Every structure is written in structure tokens, then in C-alpha cells.
């Protein structure tokens, strides 16, 4: 069985701390890290404002993901770890939980807070929602 750790990131300092923690776990366990970024579903805001649905092209999703991945990994030496980067569009908590459904991951590591404190206060913490619904252990890092 291959060991896999999903690290949810939005590029915040909490996400960087989660990534640093994941590197330690990956080294100790011989695990692969999947660095996972959810581009916030653009239709969520369009729906509430009565606007037209927006479709992001895959190139835009990848570009936004790369910005976040670069910010998360900046000045961190992780060459000895296998890291796969994956960016998708959706609602963060639900999309992270969906990614866990097939049982491929042994652990999720994520920051306790992200870049959206107002959104978090309005709809609930992404970390809280993932902890409540995840199918594997979740480590929340400050």
C-alpha cells in the first residue's frame, strides 16, 4: 500500500505550516504528498447575485493553482519528497472531502485558518467541515 498525504492549501501561512508538517510526516513514513488547492467555485457568488454562471477554463484553474503552490512551497526544500500538485474548482470543504472518498489517502494535513476569515465566519470553517466529514485522519496545523 502506498502512503499518501493530502495537504490542502490556499497559500496562507497556515497552509505553509501544514505543508512543512506534511514534509516531516512524509519523510518519516515514506509517503507521497498531494498538494491540493480548490479554486473557489465562481458560480457560488454569481448564483447569489443573480448573475450568469461562470465556467473557468482548465488553463485558468491550473494558473491559479500554480500561484498558490508556488507561494506554499516558496523557500522550502522538499526535493526528497514525491509531491503531486492538483488544482480543481469547487467549494473548498466539500471538494476536499470528495477527494478523500476513494480511500487513497492515509492522512489530511491542513491549516487551521485560511485567507477567508469573513467567508469562514459566514459559512463555517473549512477545517471544521473537513474534520467532521473526512474518511481518514485529519491533522489541523496552526
- Average pLDDT score, the chain: 88
Report whether pLDDT(98) > 50. yes
Q: Give the pLDDT score at 104.
A: 95
Q: Give the pLDDT score at 40.
A: 87
Report whether pLDDT(121) > 70. no
Rounded to 5 degrees, φ, ψ at 11 are: 90, 0
| Unique residue bearing C-alpha cell 448564483 | 47
Q: Give the pLDDT score at 123.
A: 44
Q: Residue 135 — very low, low, confident or very high, per pLDDT cuts 50/70/90?
A: very high
Domains in the chain with CATH codes: 4-141 (3.40.50.620)
Handedness of CA 111, 126, 138, 97 (dihedral sign): negative
Q: What is the pLDDT averaged over residues 25-52?
A: 80
pTM recorded for the entire structure? 0.88
33, 21 contact by CB (below 8 A) = no
Report whether pLDDT(9) > 90. yes
Amino acid at each position: 500500500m502506498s502512503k499518501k498525504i493530502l495537504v490542502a492549501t490556499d497559500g496562507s501561512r497556515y497552509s505553509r505550516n501544514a505543508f512543512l508538517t506534511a514534509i516531516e510526516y512524509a519523510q518519516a513514513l515514506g509517503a507521497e504528498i498531494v498538494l491540493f488547492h480548490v479554486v473557489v467555485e465562481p458560480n457560488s457568488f454569481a448564483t447569489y447575485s443573480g448573475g450568469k454562471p461562470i465556467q473557468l477554463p482548465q488553463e485558468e484553474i491550473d494558473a491559479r493553482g500554480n500561484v498558490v503552490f508556488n507561494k506554499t512551497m516558496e523557500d522550502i526544500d522538499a526535493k526528497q519528497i514525491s509531491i503531486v500538485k492538483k488544482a480543481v474548482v469547487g467549494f473548498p470543504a466539500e471538494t476536499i472531502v470528495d477527494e478523500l472518498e476513494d480511500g487513497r489517502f492515509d492522512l489530511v494535513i491542513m491549516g487551521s485558518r485560511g485567507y477567508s476569515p469573513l467567508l469562514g465566519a459566514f459559512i463555517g470553517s473549512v477545517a471544521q467541515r473537513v474534520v467532521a466529514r473526512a474518511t481518514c485522519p485529519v491533522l489541523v496545523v496552526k
